[in-house]
Amino acid sequence: MGQSFSGYPQLPDCFDELVSPAGTARAPATAIARFIERHGTTELLRRQQQLDQTIRSMGVCFTLYSEGQNIDRAWPLDVMPRTIPLSEWRRTSAGLMQRLQALNLFIDDLYHDQRILRAGIVPAELVLQSRNFLAPCRGVSPPFGVWSHICGTDLVRDGQGQFLVLEDNLRVPSGVSYMLENRTVMKRVFPELFADSTIVPVDDYPHQLWKMLASLSPRPGDVPCIVLLTPGIYNSAYFEHSYLAQQMGIELVENTDLQVDADGVYLRTLNGLQRVDVIYRRVDDIFLDPTVFRPDSVLGVPGLFQAWAKGQVAIANAPGSGVADDKVIYAYVPQIIEYYLGEKPLIDNVPTYLCSDEQQRAYVLANLDQLVVKPANESGGYGILIGPRATDAERALMAEAIAKDPRNFVAQPTLQLSTAPTLCDGVLEPRHLDLRPFVLQGRDLYCSTGGLSRVALRRGSLVVNSSQGGGSKDTWIINDEV
């Protein structure tokens, strides 16, 4: 076994998902290695073409905005899967569920008694001055005390192959539809590899999502009316919105399909108004309700916030859940887990230095050439300094900015993200990747089987976003317990 990866140009300091340092296939990658051995990379290339064709005819796409035009691009999926043993995945998913549970206790505490702030575990001003802390949410008690029902946690592996949490996405995380469609495509393209059935299925997710949403209904006992609220067909994630609505058998609605009166939220159907119990919203907090948040929102539903606060309708994720989705709060998650659950975190954070702390700041300033510095309240990669790739002048500017407003900066070591063999111009080459599993919490907790593996297709690149030349891989959790 393992011959097929001879000549594979492994990167020295990176953990490879499929190939051991000796150049042989890791145990969960045995079947795919055997396939390559038997058929060669020319067959892989042929399957890649078949795969691309399948994606086009299935209409799996993502939307790019370019020059005011919406362009549907075929979803990029690499023919080589990423494999993870089930035994390792069990530990990882337990850690993910632990994390979401603690974060929900944290959010609920922040909007009620704020015990953790009074205990001095998390500095009060960090939370109270955050623009993600939504004052109108104070005192609201959503079902089960859960605010973030759907979490897309970004995981990376360090050089030793240890999973670390890079980011918690607690607002409107996307990507799960591609996780599901990647599997559908791969089953069509590699029927023989699925035949021995050690690849754990992923298709339970839509049902679990539906079950979680149903558990939030304010009218338990009745068949719940659940809707997915989308900004509309021009939104970049519209594919996912329509896909999930279809997979769960619920209505896909825009704000104009909903109306609110004193009793609750209603859906405008051909048969008249229908009471809505649960809204899976894919619209950002500040656009949800123009009477409470941004008055210029054209995506919102007037009165929706009040209906939610009164418990007439459930909203997932709840407004205000973004307060725990913040780069400075992130640094405190290990303490948050210990405070609420009395447990050690099962998955570590990427080490994070807070510039607000004098000692840590000194370390950051002394090691700017090795660290990645991120502003706490920006997203989308704005204002980030990648120390090893920056010029002296850029580093000097950053040092100045940190000195001026230390609370607004965090720093992390530059990570050696793990790699996996990826078909590039007909040859297998290592490419960096991350993993976004999806964790659900309502009455129960659930973690997806694996997640969406995103891969940076350019050599040496660490950028996995599909809008910036990133691709994806099907994530195979291989049952190693049989």
The verdict on 261 binding other proteins (CB under 8 A) reads: yes
Instruction: Tell me the closest approach of the beta carbon of residue 273 to other proteins, in angstroms.
Output: 8
List residues bridging with 150 in a β-sheet: 440
- 425-450 core/surface letters (b: 16 or more CB in 10 A; e: else): eeebbbbbbbbbbbbbbbeebbbbbb
Out of 85, 302, 383, 413, the residue judged to bind other proteins by CB under 8 A: 302
The verdict on 132 binding other proteins (CB under 8 A) reads: no
Closest C-alpha among 409, 304, 397 to residue 356 = 409
> What one-character DSSP code corresponds to residue 168?
E
Out of 20, 114, 236, 306, the residue judged to bind other proteins by CB under 8 A: 306
The verdict on 252 binding other proteins (CB under 8 A) reads: yes
Instruction: Tell me the closest approach of the beta carbon of residue 243 to other proteins, in angstroms.
Output: 7
Instruction: Tell me the closest approach of the beta carbon of residue 277 to other proteins, in angstroms.
Output: 16
Amino acid at 315: I
The verdict on 59 binding other proteins (CB under 8 A) reads: yes
Nearer to other proteins by C-beta: 193 or 267?
A: 267
Out of 267, 346, 424, 427, the residue judged to bind other proteins by CB under 8 A: 267
Residue 152: strand, helix, or coil: strand
Out of 42, 57, 160, 391, the residue judged to bind other proteins by CB under 8 A: 57
The verdict on 160 binding other proteins (CB under 8 A) reads: no
Out of 242, 335, 349, 479, the residue judged to bind other proteins by CB under 8 A: 242
Distance CA 106, CA 142 (A): 14
The verdict on 114 binding other proteins (CB under 8 A) reads: no
Out of 214, 226, 229, 245, the residue judged to bind other proteins by CB under 8 A: 245
Q: Which stretch binds other proteins (CB under 8 A): 98-106, 301-309, 328-336, 413-421?
A: 301-309
Q: Which residues contact 13 (CB under 8 A, 6 or more apart)?
A: 159, 416
Contact in structure between 320 and 292 (CB atoms under 8 Å): no
Nearer to other proteins by C-beta: 256 or 467?
A: 256
| Count of CA atoms in the C-beta half-sphere (13 A) of 189 | 28
State the number of binding residues for other proteins (CB under 8 A). Answer: 31
Nearer to other proteins by C-beta: 114 or 184?
A: 184
Question: What ranges make up the beta strands (E) of 215-370?
Answer: 226-229, 251-253, 258-261, 264-269, 272-276, 278-281, 314-316, 348-349, 353-354
| Residue 358 backbone phi and psi in degrees, to 5 | -60, -50
> Which residue's entry shows tokens 């042989």?
24
Residues within the interface to other proteins (CB under 8 A): 56-59, 233, 238, 242-243, 245-246, 250-254, 256-257, 259-262, 267-272, 291, 302-303, 306
